[in-house]
Amino acid sequence: MTSANVDMFKTLDPEHAGTTSEGVVTQLREMIHRGELRPGDRLPPERDLAKLLGVSRPTLRAGIRSLAAVGVLQSRQGAGTFVVKSDGPPSLDSSPLRLMASLHGFTSAEMFEARMSLEMAVAGLAAERATGDHMATMAEEVAGMYASLGDPEQFLVHDVRFHQTIAASSGNRILTALMNMVATILFETRIKTVKRATDLKESAEMHRHIYRAIREHNPEAAREAMHDHLIRAKMAWDLEEPHDLEHAPPNGSNGNGASS
């Protein structure tokens, strides 16, 4: 800590007005997108890093906390603080959206419509760009659905993977992230009601339609098939007891999820 290693952590210039902890956030952000800190990297211990940046530990912690809240950093007690390693597709934390939903009283219908628009857009792009590998995976998942008609939970797994494969083959990670953000919120309230299977066969059929449209590189058909699929899913959904977007799980889980 005394001398050597890296001096890439320059003590922050007080000129950058604003509060000190904001300065820390700025410093860390710049280090990240300058490539000095890359996904998966571990930050120096808080005590050291605080000295290196010339701030106190609480102030540094405040900055880290801010970045952790938006999903860029992750701290594990006893282990260290890490730049989030997104192994799969990049993902955005859905808790801000969830908060906004409760703050403004969004209906689940509105949320569902947003998801539908995003899924349709993604399906359209996927129809233009899906590679052979992607389509093979989709076909497998569809087959998996047919094979799981008696096991709703297993069916749901294939369902989610199918939608994520579509997102992946859209080639647009931003849309994918946004779609997952919305889908996650819907998913969290849905997973509890999955037990009561609702016409899994029809659902599998519709997924197959989507797959075939993508397979034929027909964006319009893909969009339409996705539209039909989600419309029916919503209708089945609406038959269940009232779903509140209100009771979000306590912790702002960041997981991805897409449902039928």
DSSP classification of residue 18: S
Q: Which residues on adjacent β-strands are paired with residue 74?
A: 82
Interface of this chain with a copy of itself, residues 29 to 48, rule: CB under 8 A: 29, 32-33, 39
Q: What CA–CA distance (Å, rounded) separates 31 from 52?
A: 13
Q: Which of residues 150-179 bind DNA (CB under 7 A)?
A: none
Quote the CA–CA distance of 191 and 218 in Å, as a whole number.
Answer: 32
- The minimum distance between CB 83 and DNA, in angstroms, equals 12
C-alpha–C-alpha distance, residues 164 and 123, integer Å: 11
d(C-alpha 259, C-alpha 127), whole Å: 20
Q: Point out which span in 46-54, 149-157, 177-185, 229-237 binds a copy of itself (CB under 8 A).
A: 177-185
Distance of CA 152 to the CA centre of its chain: 23
Q: DSSP 3-state assignment of 34?
A: coil
Among 204, 220, 203, smallest CA distance to 126 is for 220
DSSP 8-class letter at 42: B
In contact, 82 and 157? CB cutoff 8 Å: no
- Cβ of residue 51: shortest distance to DNA, in angstroms? 9
- Residue 79, binding choice from a copy of itself, DNA, none, Cβ under 5 to 8 Å by partner class: DNA
Per-residue contact string for residues 65-94; x = within reach of a copy of itself by CB under 8 A: xxxxxxxx----x-----xx-x---x-xx-
Please give the size of the binding site for DNA, defined by CB under 7 A. 23
Say how many C-beta atoms besides its own lie within 10 A of residue 110's C-beta. 13
Q: Per-residue string for binding with DNA, 54-73, x by CB under 7 A?
A: -xxxxx-xx-x---------
Told to check if 80 binds DNA by CB under 7 A, we report yes
Which residues contact a copy of itself by CB under 8 A?
A: 16, 18-19, 21-22, 25-26, 29, 32-33, 39, 58, 61-62, 65-72, 77, 83-84, 86, 90, 92-93, 95-97, 99-104, 106, 110-111, 113-114, 117-118, 120-122, 124-125, 172-175, 177-178, 181-182, 246, 248, 250-252
- Chain residues binding DNA by CB under 7 A are 19-22, 43, 45-47, 55-59, 61-62, 64, 75-81
